[in-house]
Amino acid sequence: MLPLDLHTHSTISDGLLSPSDLVARAARHGVRALALTDHDDVGGIGEASATARQFGIKLIPGVEISVTWRNHTIHIVGLGIDPTNAALLTGLETVRSGRAERAERMAQSLARVGIGSSLEGALRHARNPRLLSRTHFARFLVEQGHARDVKRVFNRFLAKGKPGYVSHRWADLDSAATWIRAAGGIAIIAHPGRYGIGKNLMRGLLAEFRDLGGSGIEVVTGNHTQAQFHEFAALAREFGLLASAGSDFHGPEESFMDVGRLPELPPGCATVWARHWQELIQ
Ligand code: AMP
Ligand code: MN
Ligand code: MN
Ligand code: MN
């Protein structure tokens, strides 16, 4: 098991644990370095850092930025960012206002299939009203009995092509990479196996991302298969990108993988921690 986890969520976005509770759980699971990477918001990093100090573990400030690249939604994780950087904060603010506008359209779309008041309902499930995610709508829909659990709600209502799904334009890939680098961080493509894009498009994405100054891709993540660990380890090597690893933990009952429960990477990977956080592997 790896003693680190470089992709996790708290109640600042669509996670179920507060930043402090997340850090405490990570420490209990033997994590020595944890990145908090909430969607489009860095508001949890202060609290997470303070708790990490108490537990004697390292908190790597992070963020997961929503991006639209050639009509696909791609997530870019920034690690080691300065959460007070003005360019980053302004960029994230723009993405969040897009979320607010999208949430209204989602609610209208759900109203057309007879589900009313979903914006208010989703907001009740969001601790941070600045950051409304499909996950908050999902939890409201489960609460209302429209499906048994969050995964089923996504399949029925919130995935692309379903009644609660509306298309949306997120940040550009270039902008996200620029904000992360401006804030002194490194940019990583999150869960590359989840985008459902073909091999050629994936190669196009990796080449463009590398040329924009991107540093790495997640090789190990909550919903990659063993075969995908190897596939993306090979692609990272081929494109000169570093390998990263993160659970994408959201909450004890909702996630594929718990925080701090990451298997080892395939042998021979050049990892982000060997390059940037040497002390973690000593
Ligand atoms: P958003 O960024 O608001 O579009 O919401 C995306 C979030 O929804 C992801 O970060 C996941 O937490 C969650 N999500 C997306 N697809 C699924 C799914 N099929 N099952 C459960 N959660 C999902
Ligand atoms: Mn999420
Ligand atoms: Mn993601
Ligand atoms: Mn995530």
**CATH code at 251?**
3.20.20.140
140 shares a domain with 118: yes
Q: What is the Å distance from ligand 3's center to 272 Cα?
A: 18
| Ligand 1 contact via 150 beta carbon (within 6 Å) | yes
> What local confidence, expressed as pLDDT, does residue 253 receive?
85
Distance CA(137)–CA(143), nearest Å, equals: 10
> What local confidence, expressed as pLDDT, does residue 268 receive?
95
> What local confidence, expressed as pLDDT, does residue 86 receive?
98
CA dihedral 263, 218, 38, 143 (to 10 degrees): -70
Q: Which atom of ligand 1 is nearest to the CA of 40?
A: 2
| Ligand 1 contact via 41 beta carbon (within 6 Å) | no
| Ligand 1 contact via 39 beta carbon (within 6 Å) | yes
Q: What is the Å distance from ligand 2's center to 282 Cα?
A: 32
Task: Look up the domain containing 251 and give its range.
Answer: 4-92+169-281
Residues with CB under 5 Å of ion ligand 3 are: 75, 190
Q: Which atom of ligand 1 is nearest to the CA of 136?
A: 3
Count how many domains the chain has: 2
> What local confidence, expressed as pLDDT, does residue 282 receive?
61
| Ligand 1 contact via 271 beta carbon (within 6 Å) | no
**CATH code at 129?**
1.10.150.650
Mutate to test the pocket of ligand 1, among 39, 99, 134 (most ligand atoms within 8 A of CB): 134
- Phi/psi for 145 (5° steps) reads 85, 20
148 shares a domain with 35: no
| Ligand 1 contact via 146 beta carbon (within 6 Å) | no
Task: Provide the angle, in degrees to the nearest 10, between the axes of the packed helices 226-239 and 199-211.
Answer: 50
Residue 130 in any domain: the answer is: yes
Residue 97 in any domain: the answer is: no
Mutate to test the pocket of ligand 1, among 10, 67, 119, 133 (most ligand atoms within 8 A of CB): 133
Residue 123 in any domain: the answer is: yes
Q: Which residue has its alpha carbon closest to ligand 1 atom 17?
A: 154
| Ligand 1 contact via 66 beta carbon (within 6 Å) | yes
269 shares a domain with 183: yes
| Ligand 1 contact via 151 beta carbon (within 6 Å) | yes
CB 1 within 8 A of CB 258: no
Mutate to test the pocket of ligand 1, among 14, 74, 162 (most ligand atoms within 8 A of CB): 14
> What local confidence, expressed as pLDDT, does residue 279 receive?
80
242 shares a domain with 184: yes
177 shares a domain with 275: yes
84 shares a domain with 144: no
| Ligand 1 contact via 134 beta carbon (within 6 Å) | yes
Residue with tokens 């989840």: 194
> What local confidence, expressed as pLDDT, does residue 246 receive?
98
186 shares a domain with 110: no
> What local confidence, expressed as pLDDT, does residue 280 receive?
73
> What local confidence, expressed as pLDDT, does residue 111 receive?
98
- Phi/psi for 115 (5° steps) reads -105, 105
pLDDT-flagged residues of the chain (< 70): 281-282
Q: What is the pTM of this model?
A: 0.98
> What local confidence, expressed as pLDDT, does residue 76 receive?
99
| Ligand 1 contact via 224 beta carbon (within 6 Å) | no
Residue 83 in any domain: the answer is: yes
- 264: amino acid identity, one letter: E
> What local confidence, expressed as pLDDT, does residue 281 receive?
65
> What local confidence, expressed as pLDDT, does residue 72 receive?
97
214 shares a domain with 181: yes
CB 74 within 8 A of CB 192: no
Residue 79 in any domain: the answer is: yes
